[in-house]
Protein backbone atom coordinates (compact mmCIF):
# COMPACT_ATOMS: atom_id res chain seq x y z
CA UNK A 1 0.00 0.00 0.00
CA UNK A 2 2.78 2.40 0.98
CA UNK A 3 4.81 1.49 -2.12
CA UNK A 4 1.80 2.17 -4.35
CA UNK A 5 1.24 5.49 -2.59
CA UNK A 6 4.93 6.35 -3.00
CA UNK A 7 4.85 5.54 -6.73
CA UNK A 8 1.74 7.70 -7.17
CA UNK A 9 3.47 10.57 -5.38
CA UNK A 10 6.56 10.22 -7.59
CA UNK A 11 4.39 10.27 -10.74
CA UNK A 12 2.65 13.44 -9.59
CA UNK A 13 5.96 15.13 -8.82
CA UNK A 14 7.31 14.17 -12.25
CA UNK A 15 4.08 15.50 -13.77
CA UNK A 16 4.59 18.81 -11.94
CA UNK A 17 8.22 18.95 -13.15
CA UNK A 18 7.12 18.03 -16.69
CA UNK A 19 5.58 21.49 -17.10
CA UNK A 20 9.13 22.85 -17.35
CA UNK A 21 10.51 20.53 -20.05
CA UNK A 22 12.87 23.12 -21.52
CA UNK A 23 14.43 23.73 -18.13
CA UNK A 24 14.77 20.00 -17.48
CA UNK A 25 16.41 19.41 -20.89
CA UNK A 26 18.76 22.35 -20.31
CA UNK A 27 19.68 20.99 -16.89
CA UNK A 28 20.30 17.53 -18.35
CA UNK A 29 22.45 19.04 -21.10
CA UNK A 30 24.55 20.92 -18.51
CA UNK A 31 24.80 17.77 -16.41
CA UNK A 32 25.90 15.78 -19.47
CA UNK A 33 28.58 18.36 -20.32
CA UNK A 34 29.77 18.49 -16.69
CA UNK A 35 30.03 14.72 -16.36
CA UNK A 36 31.59 14.20 -19.80
CA UNK A 37 34.31 16.80 -19.23
CA UNK A 38 34.92 15.69 -15.64
CA UNK A 39 35.40 12.12 -16.83
CA UNK A 40 37.66 13.21 -19.67
CA UNK A 41 40.13 14.76 -17.22
CA UNK A 42 41.45 11.40 -15.85
CA UNK A 43 42.30 10.32 -19.41
CA UNK A 44 44.31 13.52 -19.89
CA UNK A 45 45.87 13.08 -16.44
CA UNK A 46 46.91 9.54 -17.39
CA UNK A 47 48.46 10.81 -20.62
CA UNK A 48 50.32 13.48 -18.65
CA UNK A 49 51.67 10.80 -16.31
CA UNK A 50 52.76 8.73 -19.30
CA UNK A 51 54.77 11.77 -20.51
CA UNK A 52 57.03 11.16 -17.52
CA UNK A 53 59.17 8.36 -18.92
CA UNK A 54 61.77 8.44 -16.17
CA UNK A 55 64.32 10.66 -14.41
CA UNK A 56 65.56 13.26 -16.88
CA UNK A 57 63.27 11.91 -19.55
CA UNK A 58 60.07 14.01 -19.42
CA UNK A 59 58.09 15.24 -22.43
CA UNK A 60 57.45 18.78 -21.12
CA UNK A 61 56.00 20.01 -24.42
CA UNK A 62 53.40 17.25 -24.55
CA UNK A 63 52.65 17.63 -20.84
CA UNK A 64 52.21 21.42 -21.12
CA UNK A 65 49.67 21.01 -23.93
CA UNK A 66 47.74 18.47 -21.84
CA UNK A 67 47.77 20.74 -18.76
CA UNK A 68 46.42 23.69 -20.80
CA UNK A 69 43.65 21.47 -22.14
CA UNK A 70 42.82 20.34 -18.58
CA UNK A 71 42.63 23.99 -17.44
CA UNK A 72 40.22 24.91 -20.25
CA UNK A 73 38.04 21.86 -19.50
CA UNK A 74 37.92 22.72 -15.78
CA UNK A 75 36.74 26.27 -16.67
CA UNK A 76 33.98 24.99 -18.99
CA UNK A 77 32.91 22.41 -16.37
CA UNK A 78 32.62 25.11 -13.69
CA UNK A 79 30.37 27.24 -15.93
CA UNK A 80 28.21 24.21 -16.81
CA UNK A 81 27.87 23.28 -13.12
CA UNK A 82 26.81 26.83 -12.21
CA UNK A 83 24.25 26.90 -15.02
CA UNK A 84 22.90 23.51 -13.98
CA UNK A 85 22.49 24.62 -10.33
CA UNK A 86 20.81 27.86 -11.43
CA UNK A 87 18.37 26.03 -13.72
CA UNK A 88 17.63 23.43 -11.02
CA UNK A 89 16.87 26.17 -8.50
CA UNK A 90 14.52 27.81 -10.99
CA UNK A 91 12.67 24.56 -11.70
CA UNK A 92 12.48 23.54 -8.04
CA UNK A 93 11.01 26.78 -6.77
CA UNK A 94 8.60 27.04 -9.68
CA UNK A 95 7.33 23.52 -8.95
CA UNK A 96 7.09 24.29 -5.22
CA UNK A 97 5.25 27.52 -6.00
CA UNK A 98 2.79 25.63 -8.22
CA UNK A 99 2.12 22.97 -5.58
CA UNK A 100 1.78 25.52 -2.77
CA UNK A 101 -0.62 27.53 -4.94
CA UNK A 102 -2.66 24.38 -5.64
CA UNK A 103 -2.76 23.59 -1.91
CA UNK A 104 -3.84 27.12 -0.96
CA UNK A 105 -6.42 27.26 -3.75
CA UNK A 106 -7.83 23.93 -2.57
CA UNK A 107 -7.96 25.35 0.96
CA UNK A 108 -10.09 28.20 -0.39
CA UNK A 109 -12.30 25.74 -2.30
CA UNK A 110 -12.80 23.21 0.51
CA UNK A 111 -16.27 23.07 2.01
CA UNK A 112 -16.63 24.62 5.44
CA UNK A 113 -17.50 21.17 6.74
CA UNK A 114 -13.92 20.01 6.08
CA UNK A 115 -12.38 23.13 7.67
CA UNK A 116 -14.53 22.74 10.77
CA UNK A 117 -13.73 19.05 11.21
CA UNK A 118 -9.93 19.12 10.69
CA UNK A 119 -7.08 20.55 12.70
CA UNK A 120 -6.11 23.99 11.43
CA UNK A 121 -2.54 23.49 12.68
CA UNK A 122 -2.17 20.30 10.65
CA UNK A 123 -3.40 22.04 7.49
CA UNK A 124 -0.98 24.88 8.21
CA UNK A 125 1.86 22.37 8.61
CA UNK A 126 1.06 20.75 5.26
CA UNK A 127 1.08 24.03 3.33
CA UNK A 128 4.20 25.48 4.98
CA UNK A 129 6.46 22.92 6.73
CA UNK A 130 5.75 19.89 4.49
CA UNK A 131 6.22 21.88 1.29
CA UNK A 132 9.50 23.26 2.65
CA UNK A 133 10.68 19.69 3.33
CA UNK A 134 9.60 18.71 -0.17
CA UNK A 135 11.48 21.69 -1.60
CA UNK A 136 14.74 20.68 0.07
CA UNK A 137 14.43 17.09 -1.13
CA UNK A 138 13.58 17.89 -4.73
CA UNK A 139 16.42 20.44 -4.96
CA UNK A 140 18.94 17.85 -3.81
CA UNK A 141 17.39 15.36 -6.22
CA UNK A 142 17.81 17.67 -9.18
CA UNK A 143 21.34 18.69 -8.27
CA UNK A 144 22.80 15.29 -7.42
CA UNK A 145 20.57 12.61 -8.89
CA UNK A 146 21.05 13.69 -12.53
CA UNK A 147 24.81 14.09 -12.26
CA UNK A 148 25.13 10.95 -10.11
CA UNK A 149 23.39 8.68 -12.60
CA UNK A 150 25.23 10.22 -15.57
CA UNK A 151 28.56 9.89 -13.74
CA UNK A 152 27.94 6.19 -13.08
CA UNK A 153 27.02 5.54 -16.72
CA UNK A 154 29.89 7.70 -17.99
CA UNK A 155 32.57 6.12 -15.81
CA UNK A 156 31.44 2.65 -16.85
CA UNK A 157 31.78 3.69 -20.49
CA UNK A 158 35.28 5.14 -20.03
CA UNK A 159 36.46 2.21 -17.90
CA UNK A 160 35.12 -0.22 -20.49
CA UNK A 161 37.02 1.77 -23.11
CA UNK A 162 40.27 1.40 -21.12
CA UNK A 163 39.85 -2.23 -19.98
CA UNK A 164 36.64 -4.32 -20.29
CA UNK A 165 37.80 -7.08 -17.90
CA UNK A 166 38.41 -4.82 -14.88
CA UNK A 167 35.17 -2.98 -15.67
CA UNK A 168 33.26 -6.26 -15.31
CA UNK A 169 34.77 -6.65 -11.80
CA UNK A 170 33.39 -3.22 -10.89
CA UNK A 171 29.93 -4.03 -12.29
CA UNK A 172 29.74 -7.29 -10.32
CA UNK A 173 30.27 -5.48 -7.00
CA UNK A 174 27.76 -2.70 -7.83
CA UNK A 175 24.51 -4.58 -6.89
CA UNK A 176 25.66 -4.64 -3.24
CA UNK A 177 25.51 -0.84 -3.13
CA UNK A 178 22.11 -0.81 -4.86
CA UNK A 179 20.80 -3.39 -2.37
CA UNK A 180 21.91 -1.24 0.58
CA UNK A 181 20.27 1.89 -0.86
CA UNK A 182 17.03 0.01 -1.60
CA UNK A 183 16.97 -1.59 1.87
CA UNK A 184 17.25 1.78 3.58
CA UNK A 185 14.79 3.54 1.23
CA UNK A 186 11.97 1.09 1.98
CA UNK A 187 12.27 1.65 5.71
CA UNK A 188 12.90 5.39 5.84
CA UNK A 189 9.76 6.39 3.89
CA UNK A 190 7.41 5.16 6.65
CA UNK A 191 9.61 6.76 9.32
CA UNK A 192 9.61 10.13 7.59
CA UNK A 193 5.86 9.90 7.00
CA UNK A 194 5.25 9.35 10.72
CA UNK A 195 7.66 12.18 11.47
CA UNK A 196 5.68 14.54 9.20
CA UNK A 197 2.41 13.55 10.88
CA UNK A 198 3.87 14.18 14.33
CA UNK A 199 5.20 17.54 13.12
CA UNK A 200 1.69 18.45 11.93
CA UNK A 201 0.21 17.50 15.31
CA UNK A 202 2.82 19.61 17.07
CA UNK A 203 2.04 22.63 14.88
CA UNK A 204 -1.63 22.09 15.68
CA UNK A 205 -1.22 22.05 19.46
CA UNK A 206 1.17 25.02 19.48
CA UNK A 207 -1.28 27.04 17.35
CA UNK A 208 -4.15 25.98 19.65
CA UNK A 209 -2.28 27.00 22.80
CA UNK A 210 -1.07 30.32 21.37
CA UNK A 211 -4.52 31.30 20.13
CA UNK A 212 -6.22 30.40 23.42
CA UNK A 213 -3.54 31.18 26.01
CA UNK A 214 -5.90 33.30 28.14
CA UNK A 215 -8.36 30.41 28.38
CA UNK A 216 -5.52 27.97 29.12
CA UNK A 217 -4.28 30.10 32.01
CA UNK A 218 -7.75 31.00 33.28
CA UNK A 219 -8.66 27.32 33.69
CA UNK A 220 -5.23 26.17 34.83
CA UNK A 221 -4.87 23.90 31.80
CA UNK A 222 -1.08 24.33 31.62
CA UNK A 223 -0.20 20.87 33.08
CA UNK A 224 -2.55 19.08 30.65
CA UNK A 225 -1.23 21.18 27.75
CA UNK A 226 2.34 20.32 28.71
CA UNK A 227 1.39 16.64 28.97
CA UNK A 228 -0.22 16.66 25.51
CA UNK A 229 2.74 18.53 24.05
CA UNK A 230 5.17 16.15 25.79
CA UNK A 231 3.48 13.09 24.27
CA UNK A 232 3.54 14.54 20.74
CA UNK A 233 7.10 15.76 21.27
CA UNK A 234 8.11 12.25 22.38
CA UNK A 235 6.45 10.73 19.29
CA UNK A 236 8.33 13.23 17.12
CA UNK A 237 11.58 12.32 18.89
CA UNK A 238 11.03 8.58 18.40
CA UNK A 239 10.10 8.76 14.71
CA UNK A 240 12.76 11.38 14.02
CA UNK A 241 15.39 9.22 15.72
CA UNK A 242 14.31 6.12 13.78
CA UNK A 243 14.30 8.02 10.47
CA UNK A 244 17.73 9.49 11.22
CA UNK A 245 19.11 6.13 12.34
CA UNK A 246 18.04 4.26 9.21
CA UNK A 247 19.12 7.09 6.92
CA UNK A 248 22.50 7.35 8.70
CA UNK A 249 23.22 3.68 7.90
CA UNK A 250 23.29 4.52 4.20
CA UNK A 251 26.51 6.51 4.02
CA UNK A 252 28.87 4.17 5.93
CA UNK A 253 27.35 1.12 4.21
CA UNK A 254 27.82 2.54 0.72
CA UNK A 255 31.31 3.78 1.63
CA UNK A 256 32.22 0.23 2.63
CA UNK A 257 30.98 -1.07 -0.72
CA UNK A 258 32.86 1.75 -2.49
CA UNK A 259 36.06 0.74 -0.72
CA UNK A 260 35.54 -2.82 -1.94
CA UNK A 261 35.16 -1.53 -5.51
CA UNK A 262 38.27 0.65 -5.23
CA UNK A 263 40.33 -2.16 -3.74
CA UNK A 264 39.14 -4.58 -6.43
CA UNK A 265 40.09 -2.12 -9.18
CA UNK A 266 43.47 -1.42 -7.55
CA UNK A 267 44.38 -5.11 -7.28
CA UNK A 268 43.12 -6.04 -10.76
CA UNK A 269 44.74 -2.93 -12.30
CA UNK A 270 48.09 -3.55 -10.60
CA UNK A 271 48.15 -7.11 -11.93
CA UNK A 272 47.29 -5.76 -15.38
CA UNK A 273 50.09 -3.16 -15.18
CA UNK A 274 52.62 -5.82 -14.15
CA UNK A 275 51.74 -7.93 -17.18
CA UNK A 276 51.73 -4.91 -19.49
CA UNK A 277 47.99 -4.87 -20.11
CA UNK A 278 47.78 -1.30 -18.71
CA UNK A 279 50.23 1.60 -18.59
CA UNK A 280 50.83 3.38 -15.28
CA UNK A 281 48.90 6.37 -16.63
CA UNK A 282 45.94 4.19 -17.58
CA UNK A 283 45.98 2.56 -14.13
CA UNK A 284 45.99 6.00 -12.56
CA UNK A 285 43.02 7.00 -14.73
CA UNK A 286 41.22 3.74 -13.94
CA UNK A 287 41.63 4.28 -10.18
CA UNK A 288 40.33 7.81 -10.62
CA UNK A 289 37.31 6.43 -12.50
CA UNK A 290 36.74 3.82 -9.79
CA UNK A 291 36.68 6.62 -7.22
CA UNK A 292 34.34 8.74 -9.33
CA UNK A 293 32.15 5.72 -10.04
CA UNK A 294 31.61 4.97 -6.35
CA UNK A 295 31.23 8.61 -5.26
CA UNK A 296 27.74 9.07 -6.81
CA UNK A 297 26.48 6.07 -4.83
CA UNK A 298 27.25 8.00 -1.64
CA UNK A 299 25.56 11.10 -3.03
CA UNK A 300 22.56 9.20 -4.39
CA UNK A 301 22.11 7.32 -1.11
CA UNK A 302 22.06 10.69 0.66
CA UNK A 303 19.63 12.00 -1.93
CA UNK A 304 17.40 8.95 -1.47
CA UNK A 305 17.17 9.71 2.25
CA UNK A 306 16.17 13.29 1.55
CA UNK A 307 13.80 12.15 -1.19
CA UNK A 308 12.06 9.79 1.25
CA UNK A 309 11.47 12.76 3.53
CA UNK A 310 10.35 14.85 0.55
CA UNK A 311 8.00 12.13 -0.72
CA UNK A 312 6.45 11.66 2.73
CA UNK A 313 5.88 15.41 2.98
CA UNK A 314 4.62 15.66 -0.61
CA UNK A 315 2.11 12.85 -0.07
CA UNK A 316 0.57 14.81 2.84
CA UNK A 317 0.30 17.90 0.64
CA UNK A 318 -1.26 15.90 -2.20
CA UNK A 319 -3.76 14.41 0.27
CA UNK A 320 -4.94 17.95 0.98
CA UNK A 321 -5.00 18.85 -2.72
CA UNK A 322 -7.02 15.69 -3.47
CA UNK A 323 -9.70 16.45 -0.89
CA UNK A 324 -13.11 16.86 -2.46
CA UNK A 325 -13.82 20.53 -3.09
CA UNK A 326 -17.17 22.12 -2.42
CA UNK A 327 -19.80 21.53 -5.10
CA UNK A 328 -18.95 24.05 -7.85
CA UNK A 329 -21.45 26.59 -9.07
CA UNK A 330 -23.71 25.32 -11.83
CA UNK A 331 -22.49 26.37 -15.32
CA UNK A 332 -25.68 28.36 -15.79
CA UNK A 333 -25.72 29.70 -12.21
CA UNK A 334 -27.59 32.96 -11.83
CA UNK A 335 -25.59 36.05 -10.94
CA UNK A 336 -27.65 37.75 -8.25
CA UNK A 337 -27.80 41.50 -8.81
CA UNK A 338 -30.04 44.13 -7.21
CA UNK A 339 -31.66 41.59 -4.88
CA UNK A 340 -34.78 42.90 -3.18
CA UNK A 341 -34.54 40.45 -0.27
CA UNK A 342 -37.23 37.85 -0.77
CA UNK A 343 -36.14 34.64 1.00
CA UNK A 344 -38.13 31.41 1.17
CA UNK A 345 -37.27 28.18 3.05
CA UNK A 346 -39.26 25.13 1.93
CA UNK A 347 -39.14 21.88 3.92
CA UNK A 348 -35.49 22.51 4.85
CA UNK A 349 -33.78 19.68 6.71
CA UNK A 350 -30.12 19.68 7.74
CA UNK A 351 -27.74 18.11 10.27
CA UNK A 352 -23.97 18.24 10.71
CA UNK A 353 -23.94 14.59 11.74
CA UNK A 354 -26.29 12.19 9.90
CA UNK A 355 -26.81 10.33 13.19
CA UNK A 356 -27.96 13.47 15.05
CA UNK A 357 -30.95 15.34 13.64
CA UNK A 358 -30.98 19.13 13.92
CA UNK A 359 -33.22 21.11 11.55
CA UNK A 360 -36.20 19.23 10.14
CA UNK A 361 -38.85 20.41 7.66
CA UNK A 362 -38.37 24.13 8.32
CA UNK A 363 -40.62 26.48 6.35
CA UNK A 364 -40.28 30.26 6.25
CA UNK A 365 -41.22 33.08 3.89
CA UNK A 366 -39.53 36.45 4.29
CA UNK A 367 -40.70 39.44 2.29
CA UNK A 368 -38.34 42.18 1.06
CA UNK A 369 -37.48 44.66 3.81
CA UNK A 370 -38.70 42.46 6.69
CA UNK A 371 -36.69 42.25 9.90
CA UNK A 372 -36.62 38.62 11.05
CA UNK A 373 -35.30 37.81 14.52
CA UNK A 374 -34.24 34.27 15.38
CA UNK A 375 -34.21 33.39 19.08
CA UNK A 376 -33.97 30.26 21.14
CA UNK A 377 -31.75 28.38 23.58
CA UNK A 378 -28.15 27.47 22.81
CA UNK A 379 -27.84 24.66 20.27
CA UNK A 380 -31.33 25.05 18.83
CA UNK A 381 -30.01 25.79 15.32
CA UNK A 382 -30.00 29.60 15.09
CA UNK A 383 -26.46 29.93 13.69
CA UNK A 384 -27.06 26.87 11.52
CA UNK A 385 -29.87 28.75 9.74
CA UNK A 386 -27.37 31.55 9.03
CA UNK A 387 -24.84 29.02 7.67
CA UNK A 388 -27.52 27.67 5.33
CA UNK A 389 -28.66 31.12 4.18
CA UNK A 390 -25.06 32.04 3.27
CA UNK A 391 -24.57 28.58 1.72
CA UNK A 392 -21.61 27.79 3.93
CA UNK A 393 -23.41 24.44 4.13
CA UNK A 394 -25.94 23.03 1.65
CA UNK A 395 -29.28 21.74 2.88
CA UNK A 396 -29.77 17.97 3.06
CA UNK A 397 -33.40 18.17 1.89
CA UNK A 398 -35.72 20.92 0.77
CA UNK A 399 -34.60 24.25 -0.68
CA UNK A 400 -33.74 27.84 0.16
CA UNK A 401 -34.78 30.38 -2.46
CA UNK A 402 -33.69 33.97 -2.93
CA UNK A 403 -35.67 36.06 -5.40
CA UNK A 404 -37.48 32.86 -6.47
CA UNK A 405 -34.28 30.95 -7.33
CA UNK A 406 -32.84 28.03 -5.38
CA UNK A 407 -29.56 29.30 -3.93
CA UNK A 408 -27.84 26.19 -5.34
CA UNK A 409 -28.59 27.71 -8.76
CA UNK A 410 -27.07 31.07 -7.74
CA UNK A 411 -23.33 31.72 -7.79
CA UNK A 412 -21.88 31.68 -4.28
CA UNK A 413 -19.98 34.91 -4.84
CA UNK A 414 -23.04 36.92 -5.87
CA UNK A 415 -25.20 35.32 -3.14
CA UNK A 416 -22.76 36.19 -0.37
CA UNK A 417 -22.15 39.64 -1.81
CA UNK A 418 -25.88 40.28 -1.33
CA UNK A 419 -25.54 39.77 2.42
CA UNK A 420 -23.85 42.01 4.97
CA UNK A 421 -22.76 39.89 7.89
CA UNK A 422 -21.71 40.87 11.42
CA UNK A 423 -20.84 37.91 13.62
CA UNK A 424 -20.23 37.53 17.32
CA UNK A 425 -16.71 36.31 16.45
CA UNK A 426 -14.79 39.26 15.05
CA UNK A 427 -12.16 38.86 12.35
CA UNK A 428 -9.68 41.52 11.29
CA UNK A 429 -6.59 41.15 9.14
CA UNK A 430 -3.11 42.48 9.81
CA UNK A 431 -3.05 45.92 8.19
CA UNK A 432 -4.30 49.46 8.66
CA UNK A 433 -7.70 50.31 10.09
CA UNK A 434 -8.61 51.84 6.72
CA UNK A 435 -7.81 48.56 4.91
CA UNK A 436 -9.91 46.58 7.39
CA UNK A 437 -12.97 48.79 7.00
CA UNK A 438 -12.61 48.70 3.20
CA UNK A 439 -12.09 44.92 3.15
CA UNK A 440 -15.31 44.29 1.22
CA UNK A 441 -15.01 47.44 -0.90
CA UNK A 442 -11.31 48.12 -1.65
CA UNK A 443 -12.10 51.04 -3.99
CA UNK A 444 -14.03 52.98 -1.32
CA UNK A 445 -13.17 56.68 -0.99
CA UNK A 446 -11.84 58.26 2.19
CA UNK A 447 -15.18 60.01 2.75
CA UNK A 448 -17.11 56.72 2.46
CA UNK A 449 -14.80 54.99 4.95
CA UNK A 450 -15.09 57.81 7.49
CA UNK A 451 -18.88 57.95 7.04
CA UNK A 452 -19.14 54.19 7.68
CA UNK A 453 -16.91 54.49 10.77
CA UNK A 454 -19.06 57.33 12.11
CA UNK A 455 -22.19 55.28 11.48
CA UNK A 456 -20.68 52.45 13.53
CA UNK A 457 -19.55 54.89 16.27
CA UNK A 458 -15.96 53.85 15.63
CA UNK A 459 -14.69 57.20 14.32
CA UNK A 460 -13.98 58.70 17.73
CA UNK A 461 -11.72 55.89 18.99
CA UNK A 462 -10.01 55.63 15.57
CA UNK A 463 -9.13 59.34 15.76
CA UNK A 464 -7.50 58.72 19.14
CA UNK A 465 -5.25 56.02 17.66
CA UNK A 466 -1.57 57.00 17.03
CA UNK A 467 -1.99 57.30 13.25
CA UNK A 468 -5.77 57.48 12.97
CA UNK A 469 -7.07 55.45 10.04
CA UNK A 470 -3.48 54.59 9.05
CA UNK A 471 -2.82 52.84 12.37
CA UNK A 472 -1.59 49.31 11.72
CA UNK A 473 -3.35 46.68 13.80
CA UNK A 474 -1.93 43.24 14.45
CA UNK A 475 -3.40 39.97 13.25
CA UNK A 476 -7.05 39.66 14.32
CA UNK A 477 -6.82 43.14 15.87
CA UNK A 478 -4.87 41.95 18.89
CA UNK A 479 -4.05 45.52 20.01
CA UNK A 480 -7.75 46.56 20.14
CA UNK A 481 -10.41 45.76 22.69
CA UNK A 482 -13.09 43.23 21.75
CA UNK A 483 -15.67 46.00 21.55
CA UNK A 484 -13.47 48.13 19.26
CA UNK A 485 -12.89 45.15 16.96
CA UNK A 486 -16.62 44.59 16.72
CA UNK A 487 -17.23 48.25 15.88
CA UNK A 488 -14.75 47.97 12.99
CA UNK A 489 -16.56 44.84 11.73
CA UNK A 490 -19.86 46.76 11.86
CA UNK A 491 -18.27 49.67 9.97
CA UNK A 492 -17.08 47.21 7.32
CA UNK A 493 -20.66 46.09 6.68
CA UNK A 494 -22.02 49.64 6.78
CA UNK A 495 -19.58 50.61 4.04
CA UNK A 496 -20.89 47.91 1.66
CA UNK A 497 -24.63 48.52 2.34
CA UNK A 498 -25.81 45.18 0.84
CA UNK A 499 -29.51 44.48 0.20
CA UNK A 500 -29.73 41.87 2.98
CA UNK A 501 -28.22 41.80 6.47
CA UNK A 502 -27.28 39.08 8.94
CA UNK A 503 -26.57 40.21 12.50
CA UNK A 504 -25.45 37.28 14.66
CA UNK A 505 -25.06 38.65 18.20
CA UNK A 506 -23.56 41.72 16.54
CA UNK A 507 -23.43 43.82 19.72
CA UNK A 508 -22.44 41.15 22.21
CA UNK A 509 -19.05 42.72 23.02
CA UNK A 510 -20.17 46.35 23.15
CA UNK A 511 -21.00 48.35 26.27
CA UNK A 512 -24.63 49.25 26.90
CA UNK A 513 -24.27 52.94 26.03
CA UNK A 514 -22.59 52.23 22.68
CA UNK A 515 -25.04 49.40 22.04
CA UNK A 516 -27.97 51.82 22.19
CA UNK A 517 -26.25 54.00 19.58
CA UNK A 518 -25.39 51.00 17.40
CA UNK A 519 -28.98 49.77 17.57
CA UNK A 520 -30.08 53.15 16.21
CA UNK A 521 -27.48 52.85 13.42
CA UNK A 522 -28.68 49.33 12.66
CA UNK A 523 -32.26 50.56 12.56
CA UNK A 524 -31.30 53.12 9.91
CA UNK A 525 -29.27 50.55 7.98
CA UNK A 526 -32.06 47.94 8.09
CA UNK A 527 -34.63 50.28 6.58
CA UNK A 528 -35.74 48.72 3.27
CA UNK A 529 -33.38 45.75 3.73
CA UNK A 530 -34.25 42.18 4.60
CA UNK A 531 -32.53 41.49 7.91
CA UNK A 532 -31.91 38.33 9.92
CA UNK A 533 -31.08 39.04 13.56
CA UNK A 534 -29.80 36.33 15.88
CA UNK A 535 -29.88 37.42 19.51
CA UNK A 536 -29.80 36.02 23.00
CA UNK A 537 -30.68 39.36 24.60
CA UNK A 538 -34.34 39.57 23.68
CA UNK A 539 -34.48 43.28 24.47
CA UNK A 540 -32.59 43.92 21.21
CA UNK A 541 -35.22 42.40 18.91
CA UNK A 542 -38.48 43.89 20.13
CA UNK A 543 -38.85 45.94 16.95
CA UNK A 544 -38.49 42.96 14.61
CA UNK A 545 -41.31 42.40 12.12
CA UNK A 546 -41.22 38.64 12.72
CA UNK A 547 -39.66 36.70 15.59
CA UNK A 548 -38.90 33.04 14.97
CA UNK A 549 -38.67 31.04 18.18
CA UNK A 550 -36.55 27.93 17.64
CA UNK A 551 -36.27 24.83 19.77
CA UNK A 552 -34.44 21.62 18.85
CA UNK A 553 -34.08 22.69 15.22
CA UNK A 554 -37.75 23.57 14.71
CA UNK A 555 -39.68 26.83 14.65
CA UNK A 556 -42.07 26.37 17.57
CA UNK A 557 -43.50 29.92 17.60
CA UNK A 558 -43.67 32.81 15.16
CA UNK A 559 -44.98 36.37 15.46
CA UNK A 560 -44.27 39.85 16.77
CA UNK A 561 -42.91 40.56 20.24
CA UNK A 562 -46.30 41.58 21.64
CA UNK A 563 -48.25 38.70 20.06
CA UNK A 564 -45.76 36.14 21.35
CA UNK A 565 -45.93 37.53 24.86
CA UNK A 566 -49.73 37.29 24.72
CA UNK A 567 -49.47 33.62 23.78
CA UNK A 568 -47.59 33.07 27.04
CA UNK A 569 -45.64 30.22 25.39
CA UNK A 570 -41.98 29.35 25.05
CA UNK A 571 -40.96 32.87 23.94
CA UNK A 572 -42.69 34.37 26.96
CA UNK A 573 -40.75 31.95 29.18
CA UNK A 574 -37.45 32.98 27.57
CA UNK A 575 -38.27 36.68 27.80
CA UNK A 576 -39.49 36.59 31.38
CA UNK A 577 -36.47 34.53 32.47
CA UNK A 578 -34.19 37.39 31.35
CA UNK A 579 -36.12 40.03 33.28
CA UNK A 580 -37.19 38.04 36.31
CA UNK A 581 -36.30 39.68 39.62
Q: At CA 279, angle to CA 274 and CA 282, rounded to 5?
A: 125
Contact assessment for residue 261 and residue 290, using Cβ atoms and an 8 Å cutoff: yes
Contact 148, 31 (CB under 8 A): no
Q: CA angle 52-56-60, nearest 5°? A: 50
Residue 350: which residues within 8 A CB-CB, separation 6 or more? 358, 359, 384, 388, 393, 395, 396, 397
| Residue 130 exposure: Cα atoms within 13 Å on the Cβ side | 33
- 167-170 LR contacts (CB < 8 Å, sep 24+): 169/264, 169/265, 169/268, 170/261, 170/264, 170/265, 170/290, 170/293
**Angle at CA of residue 313, ends 312 and 317, nearest 5°:** 120
How far apart CA 418 and CA 341 sit, in angstroms, is 9
pLDDT for residue 44: 80
Instruction: Specify the pairing of strand 530-534 against strand 371-375.
Output: parallel
Distance CA(319)–CA(187), nearest Å, equals 21
In the beta sheet, which residues pair with residue 334? 410
DSSP 196: H
Please give the pLDDT value at position 581: 43
514, 551 Cβ separation under 8 angstroms: no
Position 475 scores a pLDDT of 66
**Residue 98 β-bridge partners:** none
Other C-beta atoms lying within 10 Å of the C-beta of residue 41 = 17
506 to 112, 294, 465, 491, 520: CA distances (angstroms): 22, 70, 23, 12, 13
What pLDDT is recorded for position 301?
A: 62
Mean pLDDT by runs of 10 across the 581 residues of the chain is: 70 81 85 84 77 66 83 91 86 86 84 78 80 75 72 79 75 69 67 78 76 67 81 84 75 72 75 73 74 70 69 82 82 84 88 81 87 82 85 89 89 86 78 86 88 86 87 74 81 84 74 72 78 74 83 82 86 74 43
In whole angstroms, give the CA distance from residue 521 to residue 475. Answer: 27
Distance CA 158, CA 153 (A): 9
pLDDT value of position 58: 67
Backbone torsions φ then ψ of 503, nearest 5 degrees: -120, 100
CA distances from 133 to 42, 140, 206, 313, 576 (A): 37, 11, 19, 6, 60
C-alpha distances in angstroms, 119 versus 22, 194, 215? 40, 17, 19
Given this model, what pLDDT does residue 75 score? 92
**Distances from the Cα of 265 to the Cαs of 159, 273, 286, in angstroms?**
10, 12, 8
Distance, CA of 118 to CA of 264 (rounded, Å) = 57
Closest alpha carbon to 558 in 540, 569, 525: 569
Amino acid sequence: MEMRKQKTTVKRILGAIGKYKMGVFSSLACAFITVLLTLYIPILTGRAIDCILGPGNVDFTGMWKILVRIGVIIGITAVAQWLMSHINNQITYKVVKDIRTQAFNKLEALPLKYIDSHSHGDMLSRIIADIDQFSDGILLGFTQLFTGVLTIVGTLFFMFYINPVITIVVVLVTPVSLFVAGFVAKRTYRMFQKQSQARGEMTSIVEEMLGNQKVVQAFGYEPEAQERFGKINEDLRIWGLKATFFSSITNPATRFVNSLVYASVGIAGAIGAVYGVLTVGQLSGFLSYANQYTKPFNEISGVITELQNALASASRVFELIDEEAQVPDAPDARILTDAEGQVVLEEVSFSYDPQVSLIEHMNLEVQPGQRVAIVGPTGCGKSTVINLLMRFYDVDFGSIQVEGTDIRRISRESLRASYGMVLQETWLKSGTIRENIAYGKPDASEEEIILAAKGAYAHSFIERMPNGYDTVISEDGGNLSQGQKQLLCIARVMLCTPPMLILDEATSSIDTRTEIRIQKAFTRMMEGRTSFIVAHRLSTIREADVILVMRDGNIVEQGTHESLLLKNGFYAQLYNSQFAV
